[in-house]
Amino acid sequence: MPREHWQDPAKDKLADRDFMAWLPVDFHDGVIEAEMKADLAPGAPDFARGFVGLAFRYDGARFESIYLRPTNGVAQDQVRRNHAVQYAAFPDWRFDRLRRESPERYETAADIAPGRWVHVRIEVSGVRAVLYLDHRTSPVLIVNDLKLGPDQRGGVGLWVETATIAHFRNIRITPR
């Protein structure tokens, strides 16, 4: 993400935004898979985490996403580790609101780290999304109440946030 688009907490509250490369597919239910890795950009601010993820059902204004915070996966603070993976729905259900209203329900710890490729598989059906990492058979995160509802549909996005150098490969979208 270019430096001129980095968030500045002195000017605005930190929140999820809509920075992504949009893939114009018609996705409703199905599976999204990709390998992702992220590093911090040189000069990254203290709040940067290497945010990288997948957005889905993007209709031009709204989307749901599941993203990783790789630096949290190796943090020496357990609370930060517990925030390594996040679900959010843009624009009304960003991480800060979900964390405040439903602590621990939409985020979890994960075995991830900066600079390491992670295989991500998101299975979406109706109001449910299930995240699997690194080909494991047990899910890392289960969301049973996708905030945009069962009828939301749209594109898929490769999502990034402040001070992240992100890489994506082997992207596969399988609609149901």
Sequence-separated (6 or more) residues with CB below 8 Å from residue 126: 29, 146, 150
Sequence-separated (6 or more) residues with CB below 8 Å from residue 14: 7, 47, 96
Q: For residue range 45-96, what is the model confidence (pLDDT) as tens digits?
A: 888 899 999 999 999 999 999 999 999 999 999 999 999 999 999 999 999 9
Q: How far is CA 172 from CA 35, 75, 128, in A?
A: 10, 30, 19
Is the whole model's pTM more than 0.75, yes or no? yes
Handedness of CA 81, 162, 35, 171 (dihedral sign): positive
Spatial contact of 88 and 102, defined as CB atoms under 8 Å apart: no
Q: Hey, what domains does the chain have and what are their CATH numbers?
A: 3-175 (2.60.120.560)
Which residue has 């402040």 as its token pair?
A: 162
Q: With 70 as the cut, is the pLDDT of residue 7 above it?
A: no
Q: For residue range 111-158, what is the model confidence (pLDDT) as tens digits?
A: 999 999 999 999 999 999 999 999 999 999 999 999 999 999 999 999
